[in-house]
Amino acid sequence: MPVHRPGTIRPRPLAVLVTALLAALALTLPLTSAHAATTPARGSAYMGMGVLAHDGQSGTPTTGDVTQTEGVDVAGYQGNVAWSTLWNSGVRWAYTKATEGTYYTNPYFAQQYNGSYNVGMIRGAYHFATPDTTSGATQANYFVSHGGGWSADGKTLPGALDIEWNPYGSACYGKTQSGMVSWIADFINTYHSLTGRWAVIYTATSWWTQCTGNYGGFAVNNPLWIARYSTDPGTLPAGWSYYTMWQYTSSGPTVGDHDKFNGALDRVQALALG
């Protein structure tokens, strides 16, 4: 009979150890890997992030005989942007993500916001809304304090509220339709009181219908920036009879997200001047 010396541990068969290890992994892997695969890091959201997943993408935009002015929107994940390349390709206006919630500012904001201005573009800033974290007024204040203000220099567009699918949880951020309308009103009224301008509202018709009940009351003051990656912008949310801007693709040249302004360059300048 083998002797078991005091102070020593019998070696366990390799097969037993491997089986135990695999069992432990089986208990943790499905939850952690699934979570990592579906939930991005806070702060990483950007304009149109949910459009591909919820609205799809198809077709080449057609605008008929209507004059449109090419623009782009950018965020921190794109890093330093080649603004001269975009200018030479015909892009004349740009929006840069400034903030998200009250916990994130774009580390590339200066290069993106000032870089577009320096090559001659008319530029603006946008805020990615997270209505489940803080109030609309709180986020409007944060946005204005971190790059989302406005000046009457003829080259600065009013700030834009990016209100769309929640990349971190339920599509409507846990709000009722009336609660979402109230949150948006809180944001845009605060932004107006701080800057004297009405914010642009960026959204998709399907999200707007689901999460606000297709509320039409903001159309009186707030320009519409519609998101739809298709041959045309489709049906607009209630109240708006026309769009001011249209994000038509996430796979355009140089930066991906490209937009059409519904009018010639002088109309872009008119919006900048208010």
Contact 121, 255 (CB under 8 A): no
186 is catalytic: no
Per-residue pLDDT, 240: 98
The DSSP call for residue 199 is: P
Q: Cα dist. 177→69, 100, 162 in Å?
A: 34, 21, 17
What the block records as the tokens of 126 is 């946008």
Per-residue pLDDT, 164: 97
Residue from 163, 131, 148 nearest 237 by CA:
163
| Beta-bridge mates of residue 245 | 225, 261
* Residue 110 forms part of a structural domain: yes
User: Can you give the three-state secondary structure of 234-248, one letter per residue?
Assistant: CCCCCCCCCCCEEEE
Domains of the chain: total: 1
Per-residue pLDDT, 19: 47
Q: Which of 55, 65, 70, 164 is catalytic?
A: 164
Residue from 36, 56, 40 nearest 48 by CA:
56
**Enclosing H/E stretch for 260:** strand 256-261
* Residue 46 forms part of a structural domain: no
266 is catalytic: no
Residue 231 structural domain = 51-273
164 is catalytic: yes
Q: What are phi and psi of 70, to 5 degrees?
A: -75, 140
Pairing between strand 160-162 and 224-227? unpaired
Per-residue pLDDT, 62: 66
135 in the Ramachandran plot: left (φ > 0), alpha (ψ -120 to 50) or beta?
beta
Q: Which of 55, 100, 162, 257 is catalytic?
A: 162
Establish how many alpha carbons lie within 13 A of residue 219's alpha carbon, considering only the half-sphere containing its beta carbon: 14
* Residue 27 forms part of a structural domain: no
The DSSP call for residue 217 is: G
Distance CA 247, CA 261 (A): 9
* Residue 34 forms part of a structural domain: no
Per-residue pLDDT, 120: 98
**pLDDT tens profile 20-73:** 444 443 433 333 333 345 788 988 677 776 777 667 666 566 665 579 999 999
Q: Which residues contact 76 (CB under 8 A, 6 or more apart)?
A: 43, 46, 97, 106, 107, 108, 109
Per-residue pLDDT, 22: 43
* Residue 6 forms part of a structural domain: no
Q: Which of 73, 100, 257, 259 is catalytic?
A: 73
Provide the whole-model pTM: 0.83
Per-residue pLDDT, 44: 66
Pairing between strand 122-128 and 104-105? unpaired
The DSSP call for residue 159 is: P
* Residue 100 forms part of a structural domain: yes
Per-residue pLDDT, 100: 98
Distance CA 200, CA 159 (A): 6
Exposed/middle/buried for residue 21 (C-beta within 10 Å: 0-12, 13-18, 19+): exposed
Contact 143, 101 (CB under 8 A): no
Q: Which parts of the chain have pLDDT scores under 50?
A: 1-12, 14-36
Q: What CATH number does the domain containing 209 carry? A: 3.20.20.80
